[in-house]
Amino acid sequence: MQRFLAGSALLQNEPLVEEILNTVVKAVPIPVTLKTRLGWNDEHKNISTIAKIAEQAGIAALAIHGRTRTQMYNGEAQYDLIAEIKQSVNLPIWANGDITSPQKAVQVLQQTGADGIMIGRGAQGQPWLFADIQYFLQHHELPEKMRFQAACDVILAHLAAMHDFYGDVGGVRIARKHIGWYLARVPHSADFRKQFNQIDNPNAQLDKLSAFLQTYSSEYEFWWRDY
């Protein structure tokens, strides 16, 4: 990314950001949203300038990851600056970074005043996180954990959908990381994950995973969660 001055490396060139945003917003008939980080590094947190540029360009919503480019994924996301941006521009703001639970989602929404949140890694292996957050926002308590069988149904449907969407070769490969994320919370699953990663056929992936999951079904009523 840095070699091409694309993605968050673009934060170093504000006039170019302005030119790109103005051009794209004018060129397409649909709302254009922007996602970026707080800045290039700790000395150059230029998100407030970028937010003003975005507002003037007619960007429809701005998602902000609470880290700088050089931070990569180290340390914890910072939300203070996102709160400041929310106050300083008239633009829907979505807060992003390290939101992995309903409790954290509420904390970030309160701390930033953001209009919404964006979630990446937190949803890996638990796509029901979004529904859990919605429930927590409405009821101020966590929902019941996913029932074991309901979670299995989601996981197997997700696996079949990956085969359909990416094709047999790509789907089998991409499924390995997703199934790895699901099984990361399942006790004593490391050996099976290694075996699963050797399978190169979609039906065999489905059959082996289904059989593996069923070995837990008499013992566990609920799927595992860490919030």
* Nearer Cβ to ligand FMN (122/202): 122
CB atoms near residue 34 (< 10 Å) = 21
Of residues 52 through 71, those in contact with ligand FMN by CB under 6 A are 65
Q: How far apart are CA 50 and CA 73, in angstroms?
A: 21
In this structure, what DSSP letter does residue 74 have? -
Residue 129 CB, shortest distance to ligand FMN, in Å, is 10
* Nearer Cβ to ligand FMN (8/205): 8
Q: How far apart are CA 95 and CA 106, in angstroms?
A: 11
Beta bridge pairs of residue 34: 62
Q: How far apart are CA 120 and CA 97, in angstroms?
A: 8
Site string for ligand FMN, 114-153 (x = CB under 6 A): -----xxxx-------------------------------
Q: Residue count of the chain, please give it.
A: 227
* Nearer Cβ to ligand FMN (59/152): 59
The residue within the footprint of ligand FMN, chosen from 9, 14, 32, 35 (CB under 6 A), is 35
Residue 9 CB, shortest distance to ligand FMN, in Å, is 12
Of residues 78 through 97, those in contact with ligand FMN by CB under 6 A are 96-97
Q: How far apart are CA 160 and CA 167, in angstroms?
A: 10
* Residues in touch with ligand FMN (CB under 6 A): 35, 65, 96-99, 119-122
